[in-house]
Structure 1
Protein backbone atom coordinates (compact mmCIF):
# COMPACT_ATOMS: atom_id res chain seq x y z
CA UNK A 1 0.00 0.00 0.00
CA UNK A 2 1.35 3.42 -0.96
CA UNK A 3 1.63 6.07 1.73
CA UNK A 4 -0.69 8.30 -0.28
CA UNK A 5 -3.38 5.58 -0.13
CA UNK A 6 -3.39 5.36 3.68
CA UNK A 7 -6.40 6.90 5.39
CA UNK A 8 -5.70 8.73 8.63
CA UNK A 9 -8.92 7.55 10.27
CA UNK A 10 -9.83 3.89 10.53
CA UNK A 11 -12.60 2.02 12.33
CA UNK A 12 -12.23 -1.72 12.69
CA UNK A 13 -14.27 -4.80 13.46
CA UNK A 14 -13.06 -7.81 15.38
CA UNK A 15 -14.00 -11.46 15.38
CA UNK A 16 -14.95 -13.60 18.37
CA UNK A 17 -11.51 -15.20 18.05
CA UNK A 18 -9.85 -11.75 18.17
CA UNK A 19 -11.69 -10.97 21.39
CA UNK A 20 -10.21 -14.08 22.99
CA UNK A 21 -6.81 -12.35 22.70
CA UNK A 22 -7.90 -10.03 25.50
CA UNK A 23 -7.54 -6.73 23.62
CA UNK A 24 -9.23 -5.60 20.43
CA UNK A 25 -8.83 -2.24 18.70
CA UNK A 26 -11.90 -0.53 17.26
CA UNK A 27 -10.45 2.72 15.98
CA UNK A 28 -7.15 4.39 15.26
CA UNK A 29 -6.51 7.73 13.67
CA UNK A 30 -4.79 11.06 13.32
CA UNK A 31 -6.37 14.38 12.47
CA UNK A 32 -5.04 17.91 12.18
CA UNK A 33 -7.48 20.69 13.02
CA UNK A 34 -6.27 23.97 11.57
CA UNK A 35 -6.56 27.21 13.52
CA UNK A 36 -9.70 29.27 12.97
CA UNK A 37 -11.61 26.09 12.12
CA UNK A 38 -15.35 26.36 11.52
CA UNK A 39 -16.59 23.16 13.14
CA UNK A 40 -15.24 20.50 15.47
CA UNK A 41 -15.10 17.63 15.07
CA UNK A 42 -15.34 17.61 11.29
CA UNK A 43 -18.48 15.76 10.19
CA UNK A 44 -16.75 13.05 8.21
CA UNK A 45 -15.70 9.43 8.55
CA UNK A 46 -16.82 9.07 12.18
CA UNK A 47 -19.56 6.51 13.04
CA UNK A 48 -22.42 7.68 15.22
CA UNK A 49 -21.11 5.95 18.37
CA UNK A 50 -17.85 7.91 18.16
CA UNK A 51 -19.09 11.27 16.90
CA UNK A 52 -19.98 13.97 19.41
CA UNK A 53 -20.91 17.61 19.82
CA UNK A 54 -18.47 19.41 22.18
CA UNK A 55 -21.29 21.22 23.98
CA UNK A 56 -23.06 17.94 24.76
CA UNK A 57 -20.07 15.64 25.31
CA UNK A 58 -20.21 11.87 25.04
CA UNK A 59 -19.59 8.50 26.68
CA UNK A 60 -17.68 5.77 24.86
CA UNK A 61 -18.21 2.04 25.20
CA UNK A 62 -14.46 1.41 25.12
CA UNK A 63 -11.12 2.86 26.21
CA UNK A 64 -9.37 5.49 24.13
CA UNK A 65 -5.92 7.04 24.23
CA UNK A 66 -6.10 10.56 22.80
CA UNK A 67 -2.69 12.17 22.27
CA UNK A 68 -2.28 15.87 21.54
CA UNK A 69 0.96 16.32 19.62
CA UNK A 70 0.56 19.93 18.50
CA UNK A 71 -1.47 22.96 19.61
CA UNK A 72 -3.73 23.27 22.63
CA UNK A 73 -7.37 23.19 23.65
CA UNK A 74 -9.84 22.42 26.41
CA UNK A 75 -10.88 19.16 28.06
CA UNK A 76 -14.21 18.99 29.90
CA UNK A 77 -14.65 16.56 32.80
CA UNK A 78 -18.23 17.79 33.19
CA UNK A 79 -20.33 20.49 31.49
CA UNK A 80 -19.19 22.90 34.24
CA UNK A 81 -15.56 21.80 34.78
CA UNK A 82 -12.74 22.07 32.30
CA UNK A 83 -8.95 22.27 32.05
CA UNK A 84 -6.42 23.19 29.42
CA UNK A 85 -4.75 20.46 27.40
CA UNK A 86 -1.75 21.04 25.19
CA UNK A 87 0.85 19.27 23.09
CA UNK A 88 2.38 16.36 24.93
CA UNK A 89 -0.79 15.53 26.85
CA UNK A 90 -2.18 11.98 26.77
CA UNK A 91 -5.84 11.67 27.68
CA UNK A 92 -6.93 8.23 28.86
CA UNK A 93 -10.68 7.83 28.41
CA UNK A 94 -12.49 4.97 30.12
CA UNK A 95 -15.76 3.28 29.16
CA UNK A 96 -18.85 5.24 30.21
CA UNK A 97 -16.78 8.25 31.31
CA UNK A 98 -18.50 11.48 30.33
CA UNK A 99 -16.11 13.85 28.58
CA UNK A 100 -15.75 16.47 25.90
CA UNK A 101 -12.88 18.34 24.32
CA UNK A 102 -12.10 20.81 21.60
CA UNK A 103 -9.03 22.59 20.19
CA UNK A 104 -8.35 26.28 20.74
CA UNK A 105 -9.41 28.22 17.66
CA UNK A 106 -6.28 30.34 17.87
CA UNK A 107 -3.95 27.35 17.54
CA UNK A 108 -5.91 24.34 16.34
CA UNK A 109 -4.20 21.05 17.13
CA UNK A 110 -3.06 17.67 15.91
CA UNK A 111 -4.67 14.74 17.68
CA UNK A 112 -3.89 11.02 17.48
CA UNK A 113 -6.00 8.29 19.00
CA UNK A 114 -6.43 4.57 19.42
CA UNK A 115 -9.55 2.97 20.88
CA UNK A 116 -9.67 -0.53 22.37
CA UNK A 117 -11.48 -2.88 24.73
CA UNK A 118 -11.07 -6.29 26.29
CA UNK A 119 -10.55 -8.22 29.50
CA UNK A 120 -6.80 -7.60 29.58
CA UNK A 121 -7.35 -3.85 29.58
CA UNK A 122 -10.11 -4.11 32.17
CA UNK A 123 -7.65 -5.82 34.51
CA UNK A 124 -5.06 -3.04 34.05
CA UNK A 125 -7.51 -0.48 35.36
CA UNK A 126 -9.24 -2.74 37.88
CA UNK A 127 -5.87 -3.48 39.52
CA UNK A 128 -5.16 0.23 40.01
CA UNK A 129 -2.25 0.67 37.64
CA UNK A 130 -3.89 3.97 36.76
CA UNK A 131 -5.36 6.55 39.12
CA UNK A 132 -9.13 6.54 38.73
CA UNK A 133 -9.22 10.29 39.34
CA UNK A 134 -6.59 11.09 36.70
CA UNK A 135 -7.51 11.46 33.05
CA UNK A 136 -4.73 13.70 31.67
CA UNK A 137 -1.14 12.50 31.66
CA UNK A 138 1.37 15.21 30.79
CA UNK A 139 4.06 13.02 29.26
CA UNK A 140 5.43 15.45 26.66
CA UNK A 141 5.74 14.87 22.93
CA UNK A 142 7.47 11.51 22.58
CA UNK A 143 8.64 10.62 19.07
CA UNK A 144 8.48 6.89 19.82
CA UNK A 145 4.82 7.13 20.81
CA UNK A 146 3.98 9.20 17.72
CA UNK A 147 5.71 6.52 15.63
CA UNK A 148 3.55 3.84 17.25
CA UNK A 149 0.39 5.71 16.32
CA UNK A 150 1.66 6.05 12.74
CA UNK A 151 2.44 2.35 12.63
CA UNK A 152 -1.01 1.50 14.02
CA UNK A 153 -2.68 3.54 11.28
CA UNK A 154 -0.62 1.75 8.62
CA UNK A 155 -1.40 -1.71 10.02
CA UNK A 156 -5.10 -0.88 10.37
CA UNK A 157 -5.29 0.24 6.75
CA UNK A 158 -3.64 -2.92 5.46
CA UNK A 159 -5.99 -5.15 7.50
CA UNK A 160 -3.85 -8.23 7.01
CA UNK A 161 -4.35 -11.45 8.94
CA UNK A 162 -3.38 -10.96 12.57
CA UNK A 163 -3.70 -7.18 12.40
CA UNK A 164 -5.87 -7.12 15.53
CA UNK A 165 -3.12 -8.80 17.54
CA UNK A 166 -0.53 -6.37 16.13
CA UNK A 167 -2.75 -3.40 17.01
CA UNK A 168 -3.47 -4.83 20.45
CA UNK A 169 0.26 -4.91 21.11
CA UNK A 170 0.63 -1.29 20.04
CA UNK A 171 -2.27 -0.15 22.25
CA UNK A 172 -0.82 -2.02 25.21
CA UNK A 173 2.64 -0.56 24.58
CA UNK A 174 1.35 3.03 24.31
CA UNK A 175 -0.53 2.57 27.57
CA UNK A 176 2.58 1.18 29.28
CA UNK A 177 4.78 3.97 27.94
CA UNK A 178 2.27 6.57 29.15
CA UNK A 179 2.53 5.06 32.62
CA UNK A 180 6.34 5.03 32.37
CA UNK A 181 6.74 8.65 31.25
CA UNK A 182 4.15 9.98 33.68
CA UNK A 183 5.54 7.96 36.58
CA UNK A 184 9.09 9.18 36.05
CA UNK A 185 8.02 12.78 35.47
CA UNK A 186 6.79 12.85 39.07
CA UNK A 187 10.36 12.53 40.36
CA UNK A 188 12.55 15.60 40.18
CA UNK A 189 16.10 15.16 38.94
CA UNK A 190 17.69 15.38 42.38
CA UNK A 191 15.50 12.61 43.80
CA UNK A 192 16.11 10.41 40.77
CA UNK A 193 19.84 10.82 41.18
CA UNK A 194 19.65 9.88 44.86
CA UNK A 195 17.65 6.72 44.19
CA UNK A 196 19.90 5.76 41.27
CA UNK A 197 22.92 6.30 43.52
CA UNK A 198 21.29 4.10 46.17
CA UNK A 199 20.80 1.31 43.63
CA UNK A 200 24.47 1.51 42.66
CA UNK A 201 25.54 1.38 46.33
CA UNK A 202 23.38 -1.70 46.86
CA UNK A 203 24.83 -3.50 43.85
CA UNK A 204 28.43 -2.66 44.76
CA UNK A 205 27.97 -3.82 48.36
CA UNK A 206 25.57 -6.70 47.85
CA UNK A 207 27.95 -9.26 49.38
CA UNK A 208 28.90 -7.07 52.34
CA UNK A 209 25.62 -7.49 54.23
CA UNK A 210 24.57 -3.92 53.52
CA UNK A 211 21.21 -2.90 55.00
CA UNK A 212 18.63 -0.41 53.71
CA UNK A 213 19.47 1.78 56.71
CA UNK A 214 23.15 1.79 55.64
CA UNK A 215 22.18 2.88 52.14
CA UNK A 216 19.94 5.68 53.45
CA UNK A 217 22.81 6.95 55.59
CA UNK A 218 25.22 6.97 52.65
CA UNK A 219 22.95 9.18 50.58
CA UNK A 220 22.23 11.46 53.56
CA UNK A 221 18.56 10.65 53.83
CA UNK A 222 16.42 9.48 56.73
CA UNK A 223 15.49 5.82 56.41
CA UNK A 224 11.72 6.41 56.48
CA UNK A 225 11.94 8.99 53.67
CA UNK A 226 14.42 6.86 51.71
CA UNK A 227 12.17 3.80 51.93
CA UNK A 228 9.15 5.80 50.76
CA UNK A 229 10.96 7.36 47.76
CA UNK A 230 12.67 4.10 46.81
CA UNK A 231 9.39 2.19 46.73
CA UNK A 232 7.65 4.93 44.74
CA UNK A 233 10.47 4.97 42.20
CA UNK A 234 11.12 1.22 41.85
CA UNK A 235 7.85 -0.33 42.97
CA UNK A 236 9.52 -2.36 45.74
CA UNK A 237 11.04 -1.63 49.13
CA UNK A 238 14.85 -1.38 49.53
CA UNK A 239 14.90 -4.66 51.49
CA UNK A 240 12.92 -6.41 48.76
CA UNK A 241 15.27 -5.00 46.11
CA UNK A 242 18.33 -6.32 47.99
CA UNK A 243 16.76 -9.75 48.38
CA UNK A 244 15.84 -9.89 44.70
CA UNK A 245 19.40 -9.10 43.66
CA UNK A 246 20.77 -11.76 46.00
CA UNK A 247 18.37 -14.40 44.68
CA UNK A 248 19.24 -13.41 41.11
CA UNK A 249 22.92 -13.94 41.92
CA UNK A 250 22.11 -17.25 43.65
CA UNK A 251 20.27 -18.47 40.54
CA UNK A 252 23.28 -17.61 38.42
CA UNK A 253 25.70 -19.46 40.71
CA UNK A 254 23.47 -22.53 41.08
CA UNK A 255 22.98 -22.89 37.35
CA UNK A 256 26.59 -22.21 36.34
CA UNK A 257 28.73 -24.00 38.97
CA UNK A 258 28.90 -27.04 41.24
CA UNK A 259 29.17 -24.93 44.43
CA UNK A 260 26.96 -26.48 47.09
CA UNK A 261 23.89 -24.81 48.56
CA UNK A 262 25.53 -24.07 51.93
CA UNK A 263 28.43 -22.22 50.31
CA UNK A 264 26.08 -20.20 48.12
CA UNK A 265 24.05 -19.27 51.20
CA UNK A 266 27.06 -18.00 53.14
CA UNK A 267 28.51 -16.27 50.06
CA UNK A 268 25.35 -14.19 49.74
CA UNK A 269 25.24 -13.29 53.43
CA UNK A 270 22.64 -15.76 54.63
CA UNK A 271 23.93 -17.22 57.91
CA UNK A 272 21.05 -19.68 58.08
CA UNK A 273 20.75 -22.09 55.14
CA UNK A 274 17.13 -22.83 56.05
CA UNK A 275 16.28 -19.12 55.80
CA UNK A 276 18.12 -18.88 52.49
CA UNK A 277 16.07 -21.80 51.14
CA UNK A 278 12.86 -20.17 52.35
CA UNK A 279 13.67 -16.83 50.70
CA UNK A 280 14.84 -18.54 47.51
CA UNK A 281 11.58 -20.47 47.21
CA UNK A 282 9.56 -17.32 47.88
CA UNK A 283 11.11 -15.60 44.85
CA UNK A 284 11.46 -18.57 42.48
CA UNK A 285 8.84 -21.10 43.52
CA UNK A 286 11.59 -23.72 43.94
CA UNK A 287 14.03 -24.67 46.67
CA UNK A 288 17.74 -24.19 45.83
CA UNK A 289 18.12 -27.98 45.51
CA UNK A 290 15.17 -28.23 43.11
CA UNK A 291 16.42 -25.28 41.08
CA UNK A 292 19.91 -26.77 40.75
CA UNK A 293 18.53 -30.14 39.62
CA UNK A 294 16.56 -28.46 36.86
CA UNK A 295 18.99 -25.83 35.60
CA UNK A 296 22.51 -27.13 36.31
Structure 2
Protein backbone atom coordinates (compact mmCIF):
# COMPACT_ATOMS: atom_id res chain seq x y z
CA UNK A 1 0.00 0.00 0.00
CA UNK A 2 1.23 3.49 -0.83
CA UNK A 3 1.68 5.98 1.98
CA UNK A 4 -1.31 8.00 0.86
CA UNK A 5 -4.27 7.99 -1.51
CA UNK A 6 -7.14 10.42 -1.76
CA UNK A 7 -9.88 11.23 -4.20
CA UNK A 8 -12.47 14.01 -4.30
CA UNK A 9 -15.56 13.07 -6.32
CA UNK A 10 -18.09 15.54 -7.77
CA UNK A 11 -21.64 14.55 -6.85
CA UNK A 12 -23.60 13.77 -10.02
CA UNK A 13 -27.41 13.90 -10.21
CA UNK A 14 -27.51 10.12 -10.69
CA UNK A 15 -25.40 9.54 -7.60
CA UNK A 16 -27.57 11.88 -5.55
CA UNK A 17 -30.65 9.77 -6.32
CA UNK A 18 -29.13 6.94 -4.27
CA UNK A 19 -29.46 9.09 -1.17
CA UNK A 20 -25.82 8.65 -0.15
CA UNK A 21 -22.98 10.00 -2.26
CA UNK A 22 -19.30 9.70 -1.44
CA UNK A 23 -17.59 13.04 -1.95
CA UNK A 24 -14.08 12.18 -0.73
CA UNK A 25 -12.13 9.21 0.54
CA UNK A 26 -8.64 7.96 1.13
CA UNK A 27 -5.96 6.93 3.57
CA UNK A 28 -2.81 8.59 4.85
CA UNK A 29 0.15 7.21 6.78
CA UNK A 30 1.50 9.95 9.03
CA UNK A 31 4.99 9.05 10.31
CA UNK A 32 6.13 10.20 13.75
CA UNK A 33 7.37 13.80 13.70
CA UNK A 34 5.54 14.71 10.48
CA UNK A 35 3.65 17.94 9.99
CA UNK A 36 -0.11 17.63 10.29
CA UNK A 37 -2.37 17.98 8.48
CA UNK A 38 -0.52 17.17 5.24
CA UNK A 39 -0.89 19.81 2.55
CA UNK A 40 -2.29 17.56 -0.16
CA UNK A 41 -6.00 18.28 0.21
CA UNK A 42 -8.24 20.97 -1.35
CA UNK A 43 -8.56 24.22 0.58
CA UNK A 44 -12.16 23.41 1.51
CA UNK A 45 -10.94 20.36 3.45
CA UNK A 46 -7.76 21.80 4.97
CA UNK A 47 -7.78 22.96 8.56
CA UNK A 48 -5.63 24.49 11.24
CA UNK A 49 -5.18 22.24 14.28
CA UNK A 50 -5.61 25.27 16.52
CA UNK A 51 -8.80 26.73 15.07
CA UNK A 52 -10.28 23.57 13.51
CA UNK A 53 -12.76 23.58 10.64
CA UNK A 54 -16.45 23.13 9.79
CA UNK A 55 -17.55 20.78 6.99
CA UNK A 56 -20.78 20.58 5.00
CA UNK A 57 -20.64 16.76 4.87
CA UNK A 58 -20.33 13.73 7.12
CA UNK A 59 -17.04 11.92 7.54
CA UNK A 60 -15.95 8.65 9.12
CA UNK A 61 -12.26 8.46 10.08
CA UNK A 62 -10.68 5.20 11.24
CA UNK A 63 -7.29 5.18 12.97
CA UNK A 64 -5.41 1.91 12.59
CA UNK A 65 -1.98 2.87 13.97
CA UNK A 66 -0.65 5.39 16.46
CA UNK A 67 -2.50 7.73 18.77
CA UNK A 68 -3.59 11.34 19.03
CA UNK A 69 -6.51 13.55 19.99
CA UNK A 70 -9.89 14.70 18.71
CA UNK A 71 -11.98 17.74 19.66
CA UNK A 72 -15.36 19.04 18.58
CA UNK A 73 -17.41 21.92 19.89
CA UNK A 74 -20.09 19.41 20.91
CA UNK A 75 -18.03 16.57 22.43
CA UNK A 76 -14.93 18.32 23.77
CA UNK A 77 -11.44 16.80 23.81
CA UNK A 78 -11.02 13.02 23.53
CA UNK A 79 -8.02 10.72 23.25
CA UNK A 80 -7.59 8.66 20.10
CA UNK A 81 -5.72 5.37 19.81
CA UNK A 82 -5.33 2.62 17.23
CA UNK A 83 -8.78 1.09 16.82
CA UNK A 84 -10.58 4.40 17.42
CA UNK A 85 -13.04 5.68 14.85
CA UNK A 86 -14.52 9.17 14.94
CA UNK A 87 -17.41 10.80 13.14
CA UNK A 88 -17.61 14.32 11.77
CA UNK A 89 -20.98 16.03 11.40
CA UNK A 90 -21.94 18.95 9.12
CA UNK A 91 -21.83 22.31 10.83
CA UNK A 92 -19.88 21.07 13.86
CA UNK A 93 -16.45 22.64 14.35
CA UNK A 94 -13.75 20.06 15.03
CA UNK A 95 -10.03 19.38 14.95
CA UNK A 96 -7.85 16.31 15.33
CA UNK A 97 -4.21 15.38 15.07
CA UNK A 98 -1.80 12.50 15.73
CA UNK A 99 0.67 12.52 18.59
CA UNK A 100 3.99 13.78 17.12
CA UNK A 101 5.79 10.92 18.91
CA UNK A 102 3.72 8.22 17.19
CA UNK A 103 2.02 9.60 14.11
CA UNK A 104 -0.95 7.56 12.93
CA UNK A 105 -2.57 5.85 9.95
CA UNK A 106 -5.99 7.21 9.02
CA UNK A 107 -8.65 5.90 6.63
CA UNK A 108 -11.65 8.06 5.81
CA UNK A 109 -14.77 8.54 3.76
CA UNK A 110 -16.86 11.69 3.35
CA UNK A 111 -20.46 11.62 2.17
CA UNK A 112 -23.70 13.55 1.77
CA UNK A 113 -27.31 12.75 0.92
CA UNK A 114 -30.80 12.33 2.32
CA UNK A 115 -30.26 8.68 3.23
CA UNK A 116 -26.91 9.53 4.81
CA UNK A 117 -28.61 12.14 6.96
CA UNK A 118 -31.28 9.68 8.09
CA UNK A 119 -28.71 7.05 9.06
CA UNK A 120 -26.43 9.45 10.89
CA UNK A 121 -29.29 11.11 12.79
CA UNK A 122 -30.90 7.80 13.70
CA UNK A 123 -27.88 5.76 14.79
CA UNK A 124 -25.11 8.18 15.76
CA UNK A 125 -24.72 11.13 18.10
CA UNK A 126 -22.52 14.23 17.61
CA UNK A 127 -22.01 14.28 21.38
CA UNK A 128 -20.39 10.83 21.20
CA UNK A 129 -18.35 10.97 17.99
CA UNK A 130 -15.49 8.66 19.07
CA UNK A 131 -16.25 4.93 18.87
CA UNK A 132 -13.84 2.20 19.91
CA UNK A 133 -14.24 -0.42 17.18
CA UNK A 134 -10.85 -2.06 17.66
CA UNK A 135 -8.60 -3.41 14.93
CA UNK A 136 -11.38 -4.88 12.85
CA UNK A 137 -10.21 -6.60 9.67
CA UNK A 138 -13.64 -6.47 7.97
CA UNK A 139 -13.96 -2.74 8.58
CA UNK A 140 -10.45 -2.04 7.37
CA UNK A 141 -11.08 -4.14 4.24
CA UNK A 142 -14.17 -2.05 3.41
CA UNK A 143 -12.16 1.18 3.48
CA UNK A 144 -9.48 -0.45 1.30
CA UNK A 145 -12.08 -1.75 -1.17
CA UNK A 146 -13.63 1.69 -1.55
CA UNK A 147 -10.22 3.18 -2.33
CA UNK A 148 -9.40 0.39 -4.79
CA UNK A 149 -12.72 0.72 -6.63
CA UNK A 150 -12.33 4.48 -6.82
CA UNK A 151 -8.74 4.29 -8.05
CA UNK A 152 -9.75 2.08 -10.99
CA UNK A 153 -13.10 3.82 -11.64
CA UNK A 154 -14.86 0.79 -13.07
CA UNK A 155 -18.33 1.10 -14.56
CA UNK A 156 -20.86 1.97 -11.84
CA UNK A 157 -18.21 2.33 -9.12
CA UNK A 158 -19.97 5.32 -7.54
CA UNK A 159 -23.04 3.23 -6.73
CA UNK A 160 -20.92 0.37 -5.42
CA UNK A 161 -18.81 2.54 -3.12
CA UNK A 162 -22.00 4.17 -1.81
CA UNK A 163 -23.24 0.70 -0.83
CA UNK A 164 -19.87 -0.06 0.79
CA UNK A 165 -20.13 3.18 2.78
CA UNK A 166 -23.53 2.08 4.12
CA UNK A 167 -21.96 -1.24 5.11
CA UNK A 168 -19.24 0.67 6.98
CA UNK A 169 -21.91 2.56 8.93
CA UNK A 170 -23.75 -0.68 9.68
CA UNK A 171 -20.58 -2.34 10.98
CA UNK A 172 -19.61 0.69 13.03
CA UNK A 173 -23.05 0.83 14.61
CA UNK A 174 -22.83 -2.89 15.44
CA UNK A 175 -19.31 -2.59 16.82
CA UNK A 176 -20.37 0.37 18.97
CA UNK A 177 -22.47 -1.98 21.09
CA UNK A 178 -21.07 -3.27 24.37
CA UNK A 179 -18.68 -6.20 24.59
CA UNK A 180 -21.28 -8.38 26.32
CA UNK A 181 -23.68 -7.85 23.44
CA UNK A 182 -21.03 -8.81 20.88
CA UNK A 183 -19.80 -11.86 22.78
CA UNK A 184 -19.89 -15.13 20.76
CA UNK A 185 -21.94 -16.80 23.50
CA UNK A 186 -24.68 -14.17 23.40
CA UNK A 187 -24.73 -14.04 19.59
CA UNK A 188 -25.13 -17.83 19.45
CA UNK A 189 -27.88 -17.75 22.08
CA UNK A 190 -29.87 -15.09 20.20
CA UNK A 191 -29.51 -16.99 16.90
CA UNK A 192 -30.75 -20.16 18.59
CA UNK A 193 -33.67 -18.27 20.12
CA UNK A 194 -34.68 -16.92 16.72
CA UNK A 195 -34.61 -20.45 15.30
CA UNK A 196 -36.74 -21.70 18.19
CA UNK A 197 -39.26 -18.91 17.63
CA UNK A 198 -39.54 -19.81 13.95
CA UNK A 199 -40.48 -23.32 15.03
CA UNK A 200 -42.84 -22.18 17.77
CA UNK A 201 -45.49 -20.31 15.82
CA UNK A 202 -48.32 -22.65 16.78
CA UNK A 203 -47.78 -22.68 20.54
CA UNK A 204 -46.96 -20.32 23.37
CA UNK A 205 -43.30 -19.62 24.04
CA UNK A 206 -42.21 -19.22 27.66
CA UNK A 207 -39.67 -16.40 27.45
CA UNK A 208 -39.09 -16.34 31.20
CA UNK A 209 -38.21 -20.02 31.27
CA UNK A 210 -36.02 -19.62 28.21
CA UNK A 211 -34.12 -16.76 29.86
CA UNK A 212 -33.62 -18.83 33.01
CA UNK A 213 -32.32 -21.77 30.96
CA UNK A 214 -29.71 -19.41 29.54
CA UNK A 215 -28.62 -18.16 32.95
CA UNK A 216 -30.13 -14.67 32.94
CA UNK A 217 -33.17 -12.76 34.07
CA UNK A 218 -35.94 -12.05 31.59
CA UNK A 219 -35.13 -8.33 31.79
CA UNK A 220 -31.51 -8.95 30.74
CA UNK A 221 -32.58 -11.41 28.04
CA UNK A 222 -35.16 -8.98 26.65
CA UNK A 223 -32.66 -6.13 26.52
CA UNK A 224 -30.06 -8.33 24.81
CA UNK A 225 -32.58 -9.71 22.31
CA UNK A 226 -33.83 -6.25 21.38
CA UNK A 227 -30.29 -4.93 20.92
CA UNK A 228 -29.58 -7.77 18.49
CA UNK A 229 -32.85 -7.83 16.56
CA UNK A 230 -34.36 -4.38 17.06
CA UNK A 231 -37.53 -5.97 18.50
CA UNK A 232 -38.56 -7.32 21.88
CA UNK A 233 -38.93 -11.13 21.99
CA UNK A 234 -42.72 -10.91 21.93
CA UNK A 235 -42.74 -8.39 19.09
CA UNK A 236 -40.36 -10.60 17.14
CA UNK A 237 -42.64 -13.62 17.57
CA UNK A 238 -45.71 -11.61 16.57
CA UNK A 239 -43.93 -10.41 13.42
CA UNK A 240 -43.11 -14.01 12.51
CA UNK A 241 -46.75 -14.98 13.03
CA UNK A 242 -48.04 -12.10 10.93
CA UNK A 243 -45.62 -12.95 8.10
CA UNK A 244 -46.76 -16.59 8.25
CA UNK A 245 -50.39 -15.47 8.19
CA UNK A 246 -49.73 -13.26 5.15
CA UNK A 247 -48.26 -16.22 3.32
CA UNK A 248 -51.16 -18.53 4.21
CA UNK A 249 -53.76 -15.94 3.22
CA UNK A 250 -52.05 -15.34 -0.12
CA UNK A 251 -51.05 -18.87 -1.07
CA UNK A 252 -53.73 -21.14 0.47
CA UNK A 253 -57.48 -21.37 0.85
CA UNK A 254 -57.34 -22.10 4.59
CA UNK A 255 -60.04 -20.46 6.67
CA UNK A 256 -59.27 -17.55 8.97
CA UNK A 257 -59.97 -19.85 11.92
CA UNK A 258 -57.44 -22.39 10.67
CA UNK A 259 -54.84 -19.72 9.96
CA UNK A 260 -55.24 -18.32 13.45
CA UNK A 261 -54.51 -21.82 14.80
CA UNK A 262 -51.51 -22.30 12.49
CA UNK A 263 -50.01 -19.02 13.66
CA UNK A 264 -50.60 -19.49 17.38
CA UNK A 265 -53.22 -16.82 18.06
CA UNK A 266 -55.66 -17.42 20.93
CA UNK A 267 -58.73 -17.07 18.72
CA UNK A 268 -59.73 -16.07 15.21
CA UNK A 269 -61.25 -12.89 16.72
CA UNK A 270 -57.95 -11.85 18.34
CA UNK A 271 -56.05 -12.81 15.19
CA UNK A 272 -58.36 -10.77 12.93
CA UNK A 273 -58.22 -7.74 15.19
CA UNK A 274 -54.43 -7.82 15.52
CA UNK A 275 -53.95 -8.49 11.80
CA UNK A 276 -56.07 -5.48 10.85
CA UNK A 277 -54.23 -3.25 13.34
CA UNK A 278 -50.91 -4.37 11.92
CA UNK A 279 -51.73 -4.55 8.18
CA UNK A 280 -54.60 -2.07 7.81
CA UNK A 281 -56.87 -4.75 6.29
CA UNK A 282 -58.90 -7.59 7.72
CA UNK A 283 -57.54 -11.06 6.86
CA UNK A 284 -60.24 -11.66 4.24
CA UNK A 285 -59.76 -8.26 2.61
CA UNK A 286 -56.00 -8.82 2.62
CA UNK A 287 -56.57 -12.13 0.84
CA UNK A 288 -58.78 -10.46 -1.78
CA UNK A 289 -56.17 -7.74 -2.38
CA UNK A 290 -53.30 -10.20 -2.81
CA UNK A 291 -54.82 -13.05 -4.78
Same fold (TM over 0.5): yes
Shorter-chain TM range is 0.7 to 0.9
Distance in structure 1 (CA, Å) of the matches to 2:47 and 2:16: 26
Decide whether aligned partners of structure 1 residues 193 and 184 sit closer, same or farther in structure 2, where only a CA change above 3 A counts. Answer: farther
Partner of 2:11: 14
SS at match of 2:96: strand
Decide whether aligned partners of structure 1 residues 196 and 156 sit closer, same or farther in structure 2, where only a CA change above 3 A counts. Answer: closer
Query: CA shift at 1:35, angstroms?
Result: 2.0
Distance in structure 2 (CA, Å) of the matches to 1:203 and 1:83: 45
Decide whether aligned partners of structure 1 residues 291 and 56 sit closer, same or farther in structure 2, where only a CA change above 3 A counts. Answer: same
Q: Does the 8 Å contact 1:211/1:239 carry over to 2?
A: no
Unaligned runs of 5+ in 1: none
Distance in structure 2 (CA, Å) of the matches to 1:270 and 1:115: 48
Instruction: Identify the match of residue 275 of structure 1 among 241, 251, 270.
Output: 270
SS at match of 2:120: helix
Distance in structure 2 (CA, Å) of the matches to 1:219 and 1:145: 31
Query: CA shift at 1:26, angstroms?
Result: 1.2
SS at match of 1:68: strand
How do residues 1-296 of structure 1 correspond to structure 2 at under 5 angstroms?
Answer: 8-37=5-34, 39-44=35-40, 46-78=41-73, 81-126=76-121, 128-159=122-153, 162-183=156-177, 185=179, 187=181, 189=183, 195=190, 198-199=193-194, 202-219=197-214, 221-255=216-250, 257-284=252-279, 286-292=281-287
Distance in structure 1 (CA, Å) of the matches to 2:75 and 2:23: 30
SS at match of 1:8: strand
Distance in structure 1 (CA, Å) of the matches to 2:186 and 2:219: 15
Distance in structure 1 (CA, Å) of the matches to 2:143 and 2:219: 42
Decide whether aligned partners of structure 1 residues 79 and 95 sit closer, same or farther in structure 2, where only a CA change above 3 A counts. Answer: closer
Q: How many residues align?
A: 290
Query: CA shift at 1:256, angstroms?
Result: 5.1
Cα deviation, 1:242-282, whole Å, max 9, x if unaligned, reads: 21122233344445544333112113321321321233344
Q: Does the 8 Å contact 1:23/1:121 carry over to 2?
A: yes
Distance in structure 2 (CA, Å) of the matches to 1:187 and 1:65: 23
Decide whether aligned partners of structure 1 residues 169 and 53 sit closer, same or farther in structure 2, where only a CA change above 3 A counts. Answer: same
Query: CA shift at 1:63, angstroms?
Result: 0.3
Decide whether aligned partners of structure 1 residues 164 and 286 sit closer, same or farther in structure 2, where only a CA change above 3 A counts. Answer: farther
Root mean square deviation, CA, Å: 3.1
Distance in structure 1 (CA, Å) of the matches to 2:200 and 2:235: 15
Distance in structure 2 (CA, Å) of the matches to 1:195 and 1:175: 22
Decide whether aligned partners of structure 1 residues 151 and 199 sit closer, same or farther in structure 2, where only a CA change above 3 A counts. Answer: closer
Output the TM-score relative to the length of structure 1. 0.83
Q: Does the 8 Å contact 2:68/2:99 carry over to 1?
A: yes
Cα deviation, 1:93-135, whole Å, max 9, x if unaligned, reads: 1012122111123322211001011111122233x32234210
Query: CA shift at 1:287, angstroms?
Result: 4.0
